Structure 1
Amino acid sequence: MSVRRVVSDDEVARAGCRFFLRHGTVDMERLAAEMCVSRATMYRVTGGRDRLLGEVLWRLAEQTLADARRQRTRAGVDGAIEVTHRFTAALLSAEPFRRFLAGEPEAAARILLTSAGGLTERVVAAQHEIFQEVGLTDAGPDLAYLYVRIIESALYGELVAGHPADLDMAQRAARALLTAC
Structure 2
Amino acid sequence: MRASTDEIVQFAAGLVVEGARLDTREIAIRFEMSRTTLFRRVGNREELMGKALWWLADRALVRAVARWEEQYGQAVRDERGVLRCLRILEFYGEVAVNDAGFVELLEKEPVVAMRVLTDPHGQVQPRAVAAHVALFDRDVADGGLVPLIDLQTLGYAAVRLQEAILYSDVLTGHTANFPTAVLLVRQLVEGVLRAPAA
Selected match of 2:19 from 11, 23, 28: 23
Could you tell me how far apart the structure 2 residues matched to 1:18 and 1:54 are? 13
1:52 — aligned with what?
48
Alignment of 1:1-181 (within 5 A): 7-72=3-68, 73=72, 75=76, 78-115=83-120, 117-135=122-140, 136=145, 138=147, 140-181=151-192
* C-alpha contact (below 8 Å) 2:116/2:124 kept by paired residues: yes
Change (3 A) 1:173 1:23: closer
CA–CA separation in structure 2 for the residues paired with 1:175 and 1:133: 16
Distance in 1 of aligned mates of 2:55 and 2:156: 20
Query: Structure 1 residue 52: deviation in Å?
Result: 0.6
The 8 Å contact of residues 128 and 141 in structure 1, kept in 2 or not, is answered as: yes
TM-score with structure 1 setting the length: 0.87
How many residues end up aligned between the 2 structures?
Answer: 177
Structure-2 change in CA distance of 1:167 and 1:19 (3 Å): closer
Contact in 1 for aligned 2:19/2:102 (Cα 8 Å): no
Any gaps of 5 or more consecutive residues in structure 1? Answer: none
* Partners of 1:79 and 1:134 within 8 A in 2: yes
TM-superposed CA distance for 1:6, in Å, is 5.1
**CA 1:171 to 1:21, structure 2 compared with 1: closer, same or farther past 3 Å?**
closer
- The CA distance in 2 between the partners of 1:102 and 1:151, in whole Å, is 18
Q: Percent identity?
A: 27
When the two structures are superposed, what TM-score results if normalisation uses the length of structure 2?
0.80
Kept in 1, the 8 Å contact 2:17–2:99? The answer is no
Give the Å deviation of 1:134: 2.8
User: Structure 1 residues 119 and 67, CA, compared in 2 at 3 Å: closer, same or farther?
Assistant: same
Q: Which amino acid aligns with 2:181?
A: A
Report the aligned-residue RMSD. Answer: 2.0
Distance 1:161 1:174 in 2: 19
**Structure 1 or 2: more helix by fraction:** 1
Superposed CA offset, 1:12-70 (max 9, x none): 21222233223343111111111121222212222211111111000111011111112
Contact 1:46 1:52 in 2 (8 A): yes
Read off the aligned partner of 1:86 and give its amino acid letter.
F
Gaps of 5+ in 2: 193-198
